[in-house]
Amino acid sequence: MLNTEPCIERPDDFYEALLTAHQGLTTEQSHELNARLVLILANQIGRYDVLQEALAAARGNLERTTEGAPR
Amino acid sequence: MSETANRDIDYQKLEFDYHKSPDQSRAQPAHHPVVVVGAGPVGLTLAIDLAQRGQRVLLLDDDHRLSTGSRAICFAKRTLEIWDRVGVGQRMVDKGVSWNVGRVFFRDQEVYRFDLLPEPGHERPAFINLQQYYAEGYLAERAAELPNLEIRWKNKVTALTQDGDRVTLTVDTPDGPYEISASYVAACDGSRSPLRGLLGQESKGRIFRDRFLIADLQLAEPLFPNDATERWYWFDPPFHRGQSVLLHKQADHVWRIDFQLGWDADPDEERKPERILPRVQALLRQGFERDVPFTLAWASIYTFACLRMDRFRHGRVLFAGDSAHGVSPFGARGANSGVQDAENLAWKIDAVLRGRAPDALLDSYAGEREYAADENILNSTRATDFITPKSEVSRIFRDAVLGLAREYAFARSIVNSGRLSVPATLDGSVLNTADVDGFTTLLRPGAVAADAPLSREGRATWLLRELGPDFTLLVFGAAPAWAAELGVQVLAFDGNALHDAQGLAAQRYDAAPGTAYLIRPDHHIAARWRAPTAAAVRAALDHALAKA
């Protein structure tokens, strides 16, 4: 089950590190970094059911526009 | 069964003669129990299988040649096992090319190398590479050995009607049209299936907006030291920016290259040698750092779609192979799934024609192979989405996977240039009898029986070779006394003739003393028990014949 209770050690340090990792990158490079980060963290989680819950939570109530509708 | 060698035949040039049949002069249409339409790998396999079962089979083909050029090339383990049963497996393996080492490149770097070391204890490799014309040639030669299998070339079906009893076909020939009737018709007439059109049916699905160039090359010198064989796959290489390229080897030192071209490529321009030669030269120079003299043996441009018919059965007409379903080429699921269709259909038509099973058994053909087609389409669509990202974000993730794969093993498992074709486990088939005893799930009812090395009276043999054309009760221990009265083949590891010398059969079948498996004629598992009873086995057998 997806754990949504706070469990990141040193949340302020983590958030700063996240932004620092993106520093000096173009938006395109930042997208690349994010994609790599998602894949690395997904492997760390491993469990498919948890990943599905995480995807659903991340998707939240983002509007599904006609153009962006999944195939 | 003879596996004769005719190594020097150019199967692409072979022409088969049209002969006028006595059927063409009859006042009333001649009746045939089963007519197969289309002499490709699927139709030939089906016709041979039915003929080996003793059926009188008529195979019609609207042409008089075998396949030419570069079409199906990867034939999977399951296909080879099926071809063992029809007597051509060894020839295919002898002629085919095996490889284990593959490399994946991203941009200008090798991302990783893999070695598909085969799991020991199986007679057949995971797959071989072989040109389709060899596969068809060997099948056609096997077909010619069977007196109860007649092939009529240049016989084109132009009309089809059916009622509850029979199908009536109008067949056009160089001598004009004639009519025949059939109890069952198998439509193995390819992706453009004329029979599908005659029934007013369609094959529907997703068409991919991409084009690929196939170039078959005869190289003047080996590409790898010691004439080794490797499969190379490039994503976005410097010599073919933004697209993918696949290189692999076929028999007779023919290398096949698939260049992804994108949707905007002009197919008429791209198939011209003056466009192809520089592409190949760039690949050889940049990929192998040398100039290798070569001749272009074949080139064509293809697009593809993942689609299927809603139903594979229409009354007495059954669709098999590309007529019923189409996939992208990634993962070699076209011809391989078609040969499995043939395998599934042959024993069922035979059982129904013999009155051993009701006509409803043929409904299970449609149900099982529609399910398998969905699985193949899913796998091939996923590979296509990786190779041809459909949006900006899918390209970002695809490139991120490839970028990570060089350093991190986990990302390699996501790289998808086509997954190995393995047979569908027919979960949920109406012919399965659900487990009542505890077993590991791998070889559950619906799965294809696993091979294992055995010995019979001191001679090495294989489990799949020991399965006959009919149902088999495989017993890990002495066969119960009632087994002989089941009317099926009984194979028992009873300490006498047959031995599971290495214990691999017991391991793969999660067997304890007394465990028994009921295996269908097409090698799918129908049922299994820890302590079988006559009543349970009989019930499962009836169930697998759609009788109960």
CATH number of the domain that residue B481 is part of? 3.40.30.120
Q: With respect to residue B103, please indicate whether it lies within any of the assigned structural domains.
A: no
The answer to whether B290 and B190 are in contact (CB under 8 A) is: no
Asked whether residue B138 falls in the same domain as residue B261, the answer is: no
Choose among B390, B393, B411: nearest Cβ to A39.
B411
Q: Looking at residue B218, what is its pLDDT? A: 92
Indicate the residue among B273, B303, B333 that finishes a domain.
Answer: B303
Which amino acid belongs to residue B523? H
CATH code at B196?
Answer: 3.50.50.60
Q: What percent of chain B has pLDDT over 90?
A: 83
Q: Do A32 and B403 touch (CB under 8 A)?
A: yes
pLDDT digits (tens, 9 = 90+) for B59-111: 999 999 998 888 888 999 999 999 999 999 999 999 999 888 899 999 999 99
**8 A C-beta contact, residue B98 and residue B128:** yes
Query: What does the pLDDT read at residue B7?
Result: 52
Does the beta carbon of A40 lie under 8 angstroms from any beta carbon of chain B? yes
Contact A32 B401 (CB under 8 A): no
Task: Tell whether ipTM is more than 0.95.
Answer: no
Q: Indicate yes or no: CB of A40 within 8 angstroms of CB of B404.
A: yes
Bridge partners, residue B102, by sequence: B114, B231
The proportion of chain A whose per-residue pLDDT surpasses 70, expressed as a percent, equals 89
Verify that B60 and B168 share a domain, yes or no: yes
DSSP 8-state secondary structure symbol assigned to residue B376: H
Residues B324 and B469 in one domain: no
Residue A31: list chain B partners with CB under 8 A: 393, 396
Q: Is the residue at B447 inside a domain?
A: no
Q: A5 versus A66: which is more confidently predicted?
A: A5
**Minimum CA–CA partner of B411 in chain A:** A39
Task: Specify if B181 maps to a domain.
Answer: yes
Please give the pLDDT value at position B208. Answer: 85
- B399 vs A39: CB contact, 8 Å cut-off? no
Domain range enclosing B80: 28-96+126-205+308-377
Please name the member of B390, B393, B403 whose beta carbon is closest to the beta carbon of A36: B403
The answer to whether A25 faces chain B, any CB pair under 8 Å, is: no
Task: Please tell me which of the candidates B390, B393, B404 has its beta carbon nearest to residue A36.
Answer: B404
Q: Six-digit token pair at B202?
A: 């369609």
Q: How far is B402 from chain A (nearest CA, A)?
A: 10
CATH number for the domain that contains residue B291: 3.30.70
Q: Does A32 touch chain B (CB under 8 A)?
A: yes
Q: Is residue B3's pLDDT more than 90?
A: no
**In this predicted model, what pLDDT tens digit does every residue of B141-193 receive, in sequence order?**
999 999 999 999 999 999 999 999 999 999 999 999 999 999 999 999 999 99
Q: Tell me the per-residue pLDDT of B421-431, one tens digit each, with 9 for 90 and over.
A: 889 999 999 99
Question: Residues near B130 by Cβ (< 8 Å), separated by ≥ 6?
Answer: B73, B75, B92, B95, B96, B97, B250, B251
Q: Is residue B177 part of a domain?
A: yes
3-state class (DSSP) for residue B364? helix
DSSP B240-308: STTSEEEEEEEGGGEEEEEEE--TTS-HHHHTSHHHHHHHHHHHHHHHHSS---EEEEEEEEE--EEEE
- Nearest by CB to A36, from B390, B393, B400: name it: B400
- Whether B157 and B227 share a structural domain: no
pLDDT in the model for residue B225: 85
Residue A34 C-alpha, separation from nearest chain B C-alpha, in angstroms? 9
Measured between CA atoms, how close is B411 to chain A, in angstroms?
8
Q: What is the pLDDT of residue B433?
A: 98
Helix (H, G, I), strand (E, B) or coil at B316: coil
Asked whether residue B428 is assigned to any structural domain, the reply reads no
Query: Mean pLDDT throughout B54-61?
Result: 98
Angle at B116 between CA B114 and CA B121, to 5 degrees: 160
- Please tell me which residue, B322 or B115, carries the higher pLDDT value: B322
Say if pTM beats, i.e. exceeds, 0.90.
yes
pLDDT at B414 over 60: yes
Strands (DSSP E) contained in B416-548 are 453-456, 459-462, 472-475, 489-492, 498-499, 516-519, 525-529
Cα separation, B472 vs B521, whole angstroms: 7
**Pairwise CB contact (< 8 Å): A36 & B390:** no
CB-CB neighbors (< 8 A) of B399 in chain A: 32, 35
- Of B352, B377, B402, which residue constitutes the final position of a domain? B377
pLDDT (average), residues B377-384: 91
Residues B536 and B471 in one domain: yes
Structurally, chain B folds into a number of domains equal to 3
Q: Å from A32 to nearest chain B CA?
A: 6
Domain annotation covers residue B39: yes
Same domain, B325 and B238: no
Last residue of a domain, one of B360, B377, B394: B377
Q: Residue B300: beta bridge partners?
A: B214
Range with the largest mean pLDDT of B34-38, B66-70, B302-306: B34-38
- Best residue of A36, A40, A59 to probe chain B, by most B CBs closer than 10 Å: A36
On whether both B366 and B504 belong to a single domain, the answer is no
Whether B427 is in a domain gets the answer no
- Residue bearing the bigger pLDDT, B529 or B384: B529
**Is there a single domain that holds both residue B328 and residue B289?**
no
Same domain, B292 and B317: no
- In B377-504, the DSSP E strands lie at 453-456, 459-462, 472-475, 489-492, 498-499
| Contact call for B397 and A39, based on CB within 8 A | yes
pLDDT at A63: 74
Instruction: Judge contact between B264 and B213, C-beta under 8 A.
Output: no
Name the residue in chain B with its Cα closest to that of A36.
B400
The yes-or-no verdict on residue B341 having pLDDT over 60 is yes
B181 plus B87 within the same structural domain: yes
The pLDDT of residue B489 is above 50:
yes
Closest-CA residue of B relative to A28 is B396
Is B159 strand, coil or helix? Answer: strand
pLDDT, tens digit, for every residue of B366-380?
999 999 999 999 998
Q: Give the pLDDT confidence of A29-57 residue by residue, as tens digits.
A: 999 999 999 999 999 999 999 999 999 99
- Res. B514: pLDDT tops 70: yes
> Does the pLDDT value for residue B8 go beyond 90?
no
The alpha-carbon gap from A9 to the nearest alpha carbon of chain B, in Å, equals 25
Specify if B362 maps to a domain: yes
- Torsion angles phi and psi, residue A39, rounded to 5: -65, -40
Q: Which tokens go with B315?
A: 């009354």
B255-293 pLDDT per residue, tens: 999 999 999 999 999 999 999 999 999 999 998 988 889
Residues B358 and B484 occupy one common structural domain? no
Same domain membership, residue B293 and residue B226: yes
Reading the block at residue B20, the tokens are: 């006028």
- Interface residues of chain B, partner chain A, Cβ below 8 Å: 390, 393, 396-397, 399-401, 403-404, 408, 410-411, 414
| pLDDT above 80 (res B6) | no
Using CA coordinates, name the residue in chain A closest to B410: A43
Placement of tokens 């006042």 in the chain: B27
In sign, the C-alpha dihedral spanning B333, B335, B338, B339 is negative
| Closest CB from A35, A43, A71 relative to B400 | A35
> What does the alpha-carbon distance between residue B139 and residue B89 come to, in Å, rounded to a whole number?
10
